[in-house]
């Protein structure tokens, strides 16, 4: 197990972005994406980190980028600590030990498209909320009588705008096509569905349902590549197929213990969030390690 890292420091270089979970450093043509052990719930970053979470996010993304390479080119270059160290040393930057534990990914810098490419095979989250009021999602009409957690007749593409603050907004596909070059939009949609289908089938064989997931794309040398993270617990809803039961919220693979604890604690969801007790932290860490094992058939390196 590695030590818990809440915020990364790279002496001599400020991050261009600190997201809820990841810190991003600009290395001109490359980016260094550092997944910390931060966890968020109800839109707040908690003061307690989850051991190994950053390593799971980084290694799982790397696994999928490699696995899906023939379906979809991506920004992925390396998670090899030595290679990353060399790239930084060439820029006279020294990388602290805690960033060489498998939480860093070196990627190609791209021009990010302004949408989140969401694919859903099951009904939950914002799609479930929209379905209850309108019977549709992103303008796609769904059959009547679906429950929360129901499997959809077929996977659907439901793009969303990237909100810098607050929640992403689901948008009709037609709006996405107006926001960018339509050829790129079409390609992003087709790749998203193909990647979801391949990954969902792979996961199903391992007893895991990928209920929905969120991809991001960018343009690099005039080609579309997948960027950001890929099929992690932070970008996807993973459910245990053996426990799947439509008609309510499904136990989530990652933050269930955290949400349960926060609900019991009486916290009003206004920041600051309370710290997590050790048993909640450790059980959550085990969930992250477990999903890594189940999907990759191997232990976290
Ligand atoms: N290869 C890339 N080229 C350019 N931008 C990228 C690339 N990969 C990822 N990004 C961008 O990096 C940012 C990652 O930051 P983001 O705020 O999503 O962090 P996060 O830790 O996932 O937090 P949040 O929970 O808020 O999403 C995104 O805006 C994404 O578009
Ligand atoms: Mg993100």
Residue 179 and residue 100 share a domain: no
pLDDT over threshold 80, residue 94? yes
pLDDT over threshold 80, residue 2? no
CATH number of the structural domain spanning residue 70: 3.30.200.20
Counting residues of the chain whose pLDDT is more than 70, the rounded percentage is: 99
CA–CA distances in Å: residue 38 to residues 18, 35, 118, 280: 11, 8, 23, 14
Residue 105 and residue 117 share a domain: no
- The predicted structure's pLDDT at residue 3: 85
Ligand positioned closest to the Cα atom of 24 = 1
Whether residue 163 lies inside any domain: the answer is yes
- Torsion, Cα 237 242 246 248, to 10 degrees, reads -70
In this predicted structure, which of 40-44, 57-61, 132-136, 225-229 has the lowest mean pLDDT?
A: 40-44
Whether residue 95 lies inside any domain: the answer is yes
Atom of ligand 1 nearest to the CA of 108: 1
Residue 92 and residue 125 share a domain: no
State how many domains the chain has. 2
Tokens of 263: 């609900």
Residue 117 and residue 102 share a domain: no
Nearest by Cα to 13 from 102, 94, 106, 111: 94
pLDDT over threshold 90, residue 164? no
Give the model confidence (pLDDT) of 231-279 as tens digits: 999 999 999 999 999 999 998 888 989 999 999 999 999 999 999 999 9
Ligand 1 pocket mutation pick from 16, 17, 19, 56 by most atoms within 8 angstroms of CB? 19
Q: Containing domain of residue 11, as a range?
A: 1-109
Residue 169 and residue 51 share a domain: no
pLDDT over threshold 80, residue 127? yes
Whether residue 27 lies inside any domain: the answer is yes
CA–CA distances in Å: residue 90 to residues 23, 81, 94, 191, 240: 21, 14, 10, 35, 44
Residue 169 and residue 97 share a domain: no
Ligand 1 pocket mutation pick from 116, 217, 227 by most atoms within 8 angstroms of CB? 227
Give the model confidence (pLDDT) of 56-88 as tens digits: 999 999 999 999 999 999 999 999 999 999 999
pTM score, two decimals?
0.96
pLDDT over threshold 90, residue 1? no
Residue 35 and residue 21 share a domain: yes
CATH number of the structural domain spanning residue 234: 3.30.470.20
Residue 97 and residue 37 share a domain: yes
Residue 237 bridge partners (DSSP): 212
Atom of ligand 1 nearest to the CA of 111: 4
Arithmetic mean of pLDDT, 6-22: 97
């Amino acid at each position: 197990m590695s030590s818990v890292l809440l915020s990364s420091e790279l002496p001599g270089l400020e991050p261009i972005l600190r997201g809820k979970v990841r810190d991003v450093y600009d290395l001109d043509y490359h980016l260094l994406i550092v997944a910390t052990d931060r966890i968020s719930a109800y839109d707040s970053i908690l003061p307690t980190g989850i051991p190994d979470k950053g390593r799971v996010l980084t290694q799982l993304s790397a696994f999928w980028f490699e696995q899906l390479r023939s379906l979809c080119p991506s920004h992925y270059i390396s998670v090899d600590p030595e290679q990353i160290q060399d790239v930084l040393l060439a820029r006279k930057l020294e990388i602290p030990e805690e960033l060489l534990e498998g939480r860093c990914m070196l990627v190609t810098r791209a021009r990010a498209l302004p949408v989140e490419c969401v694919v859903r095979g099951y009904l939950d989250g914002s799609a479930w909320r929209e379905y209850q009021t309108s019977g549709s999602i992103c303008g796609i009409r769904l059959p009547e009588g679906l429950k929360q957690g129901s499997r959809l007749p077929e996977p659907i593409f439901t793009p969303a705008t990237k909100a810098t603050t607050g929640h992403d907004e689901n948008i009709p596909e037609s709006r996405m096509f107006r926001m960018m070059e339509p050829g790129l939009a079409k390609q992003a949609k087709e790749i998203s569905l193909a990647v979801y289908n391949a990954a969902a089938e792979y996961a199903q064989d391992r007893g895991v349902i990928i209920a929905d997931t969120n991809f991001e794309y960018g343009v690099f040398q005039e080609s579309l590549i997948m960027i950001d993270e890929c099929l992690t617990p932070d970008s996807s809803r993973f459910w245990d197929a053996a426990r799947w039961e439509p008609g309510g919220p499904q136990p989530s693979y990652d933050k269930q213990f955290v949400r349960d604890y926060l609900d019991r604690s009486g916290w009003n969801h206004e920041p600051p969030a309370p710290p997590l007790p050790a048993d909640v932290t450790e059980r959550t860490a085990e969930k992250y390690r477990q999903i890594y094992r189940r999907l990759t058939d191997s232990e976290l390196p």
